Amino acid sequence: MEATDLPKHDFYDCYMIIVQGAKNVINACRECKVRQLIYNSSADVIFDGSHDIFNRDESFPCHWISADMLSDLKAQAEALVLYANNIGGLLTCALRPSNVFGPGDTQLVPFLVNLARSGWAKLIIGSGDNMSDFTYAENVTHAHICAAKSLDSQMISVAGKAFFITNLEPMKFQDFVSLILEGLGYQRPSIKVPARIVSYVLLVVEWMCEKLGSRKYNHDISARFFHLASCTRTFNCSAAQKYIGYSPVVSLEDGIRLTIESFSHLAKDSSFGRFLNFEDQSKAEKLLGSGKVSDILLWRDEKKTFTCFVALVLLFYWFLLSGKTFASSTANLLLLVTTILYGYANLPPKISSFNTPKISLSSFEISENSVRDSIMSIVCLWNRGHLTIRSLAQGEDWNKFFQVVLFLYFVKWILVESLAVAIGLALVFTFTAFFVYEQYESEIDGLTAMLFSLTKGLLTSYVPASMASFLQNKEYCGKRTARWLMMNEQHVDRNLLKLKYRIQAVHTQYASRFKFQNELYGDEMHPQKNKKNEVC
């Protein structure tokens, strides 16, 4: 079992499996007279969580207090195994592979895919120039075979020692991530973010998840990825080459290619990937309608979203911050657009080595469907307002009444205070709130539910007992009504499905009967067809 597959939040379980498990294996080897024990450690045992590592060899000491709990436990287990060497006839050594990847990886590649699906993999943490050593899984297996052979032939040089194992091809971590993501059809990292800001964000997210009791967020994996993406970690494998005769049997390029092929089901355009949990529509996407507006506000295409944001900011400044009236701002904007179009139309067809394509007249036309859709949207909005006013006049829907009151109060506050400030805040909120909510949907929902329950408790404690019981009964009736509607909807769906199957069965039965009669009687079943053939 790999250390990365263990429960990160339970120190006792991790200690019992890694450290106590190593003790149990050592004792079992002594009792059964096993001659060799090779421990699969990790190169992270010498990493302190902050400082870079440049081509370090086995003489560099382990850090017993590290940023990663699993690395600390691995270092303790490795020390136990090496200390047990040559006691009771047992020969031991340890291998320290760095950043193991390959088919069957349950951590690094799936984590990168999840980042790519959510859009975070486009960020480059720090400068992006940090180097890392990677090890293909088959090379780790080959290193164990080499170590087992060398424990007998070169006992003095190998027994009781630890050896770094890599692919001997250090490369930039962002290049490795780019090769994996591009091989699976995702966009490579392109936006640089300071490492210190990312570390602060991770601390805030961890604190929020601890307060909310969320189990979906794994801080250990995020911290490990942050250290990989921001720190240099390269190791010297000359000792493994010299004493155990290790050399990679699979190159880094071939290892990346084989890994991409093994994770083809996680590719962006694969049919299987569409049915994964992280590909389902988020609440933010459903709320925005899953259209062009959704793609823009959720930053599916950064260039398109940034262009729209800059255009709206310029319009905001032009109409509200320039100090001009709305009519003069509109007239100046139309004059500017007309001047630009006239100047572009008079440009020569070719300037130096650049072609200037002409704008077709159809670009200024508005289709009939677009006008019809706009009118239908206005009509639907008008009808919705009419229905809202009519329901308010009947005095039955209190929820809608409070919604309308809050909306009107908000509009009044905007008109009284500052319209420009309100629109500016709304613009920034629109381009950030939906994106942030999609990334931390479960945490925000948990926080909202907690605040709602606290607010509800405070309100019910201050209202009269009769009003509190009325609200509770109304909530209970609402839940029963929703449950009844859901059951009826499922019942209707089942009946429709049965009806569909019956229609298909009847259709198949009559089709087969007609085919049999047609084969039996031939053209006698179609007198009109025979008459038509005679005429022809």
State the average pLDDT over residues 363-374.
81
Report the alpha-carbon distance of residue 65 to residue 77 in Å, rounded. Answer: 14
What 3-state class would DSSP assign to 365?
Answer: coil
State the average pLDDT over residues 470-493.
54
* Long-range contacts, stretch 228-231, CB < 8 angstroms, 24+ apart: 228/99, 228/132, 228/173, 229/124, 229/125, 229/126, 229/130, 229/173, 229/174, 229/177, 230/125, 230/126, 230/130, 230/195, 230/198, 231/47, 231/50, 231/51, 231/52, 231/53, 231/130
Distance from CA of residue 253 to its chain's centroid? Answer: 26
CB 163 within 8 A of CB 147: yes
Q: Identify which of 218, 174, 188, 206 has the alpha carbon closest to the alpha carbon of residue 119.
A: 188
Residue 149 has pLDDT above 80, yes or no: yes
SS (H, E, C) 229-250: HHCCEEECCHHHHHHCCCCCCC
Q: Is 412 exposed, middle or buried (0-12, 13-18, 19+ CB in 10 A)?
A: exposed
203-212, 266-275, 367-376, range with greatest mean pLDDT:
367-376
Task: Note the pLDDT tens digit of each residue in 488-503.
Answer: 555 555 555 555 556 6
Residue 15 has pLDDT above 60, yes or no: yes
CB 246 within 8 A of CB 237: yes
* Lowest-confidence pick of 73-87, 94-108, 518-532: 518-532
Which residue carries 């694969």 as its tokens?
270
Residue 473 has pLDDT above 70, yes or no: no
CB 217 within 8 A of CB 205: yes
In 52-197, the DSSP E strands lie at 53-56, 91-97, 100-101, 123-125, 131-132, 135-136, 162-165, 171-172, 191-193
Which residue carries 């630890």 as its tokens?
162
Report the alpha-carbon distance of residue 502 to residue 480 in Å, rounded. Answer: 33
State the average pLDDT over residues 333-341.
88
Q: What is the DSSP letter of 421?
A: H
pLDDT of residue 359: 79
Task: Note the pLDDT tens digit of each residue in 280-292.
Answer: 567 777 777 767 8
Report the alpha-carbon distance of residue 280 to residue 474 in Å, rounded. Answer: 33
- Residue extents of the structural domains in the chain: 3-279, 465-531
| Ramachandran area for residue 57 (φ above 0: left; ψ -120 to 50: alpha; else beta) | beta
* Long-range contacts, stretch 414-421, CB < 8 angstroms, 24+ apart: 419/320, 420/316, 420/320, 420/321
Task: Estimate the crossing angle of helix 441-462 against helix 195-212, to 10 degrees.
Answer: 50
Task: Estimate the crossing angle of helix 441-462 against helix 419-439, to 10 degrees.
Answer: 120
Confidence tier at 152 by pLDDT (50, 70, 90):
confident
What 3-state class would DSSP assign to 298?
Answer: coil
Report the alpha-carbon distance of residue 413 to residue 422 in Å, rounded. Answer: 9
As given in the structure block, the two tokens for residue 219 are 């801080």
* Higher per-residue pLDDT: 459 or 288: 288
| Residues that are catalytic | 74
Average pLDDT, rounded, for the chain: 79
State the average pLDDT over residues 111-137.
86
Confidence tier at 11 by pLDDT (50, 70, 90):
confident
* Higher per-residue pLDDT: 2 or 380: 380
Please state, for a pLDDT cut of 70, what percent of the chain lies above it.
76
121-125, 277-281, 392-396, 512-516, range with greatest mean pLDDT:
121-125
Report the alpha-carbon distance of residue 344 to residue 357 in Å, rounded. Answer: 10
CB 107 within 8 A of CB 74: no
SS (H, E, C) 323-337: CCCHHHHHHHHHHHH
Q: State how beta strands 171-172 and 131-132 pair.
A: antiparallel
Report the alpha-carbon distance of residue 530 to residue 524 in Å, rounded. Answer: 8
Q: Is 177 exposed, middle or buried (0-12, 13-18, 19+ CB in 10 A)?
A: buried
Confidence tier at 507 by pLDDT (50, 70, 90):
low
Q: Identify which of 2, 127, 139 has the alpha carbon closest to the alpha carbon of residue 77.
A: 2
Q: What is the DSSP letter of 281?
A: P
| C-alpha dihedral, 265 to 271 to 275 to 277, nearest 10° | 40
Distances (CA, A) of 74 to 54, 96, 140: 21, 10, 17
The domain 3-279 is placed in CATH, from the list 2.20.25.650, 3.50.50.60, 1.10.645.10, 3.40.50.720, at: 3.40.50.720
Task: Note the pLDDT tens digit of each residue in 408-426.
Answer: 887 787 777 677 888 888 8
CB 130 within 8 A of CB 52: yes
Which residue carries 């070169």 as its tokens?
154
* Lowest-confidence pick of 19-28, 158-167, 278-287, 448-457: 278-287
As given in the structure block, the two tokens for residue 446 are 């948990």
State the average pLDDT over residues 11-17.
88
**What's the full length of the chain, in residues?**
536
State the average pLDDT over residues 428-446.
80
pLDDT of residue 170: 94
User: Max Cα separation, the chain?
Assistant: 106
Q: Identify which of 166, 310, 304 has the alpha carbon closest to the alpha carbon of residue 247.
A: 166
Residue 475 has pLDDT above 50, yes or no: yes
Report the alpha-carbon distance of residue 365 to residue 378 in Å, rounded. Answer: 21
* Lowest-confidence pick of 36-40, 136-140, 364-368: 364-368
Residue at 347: amino acid letter: L
Please state, for a pLDDT cut of 90, what percent of the chain lies above it.
26
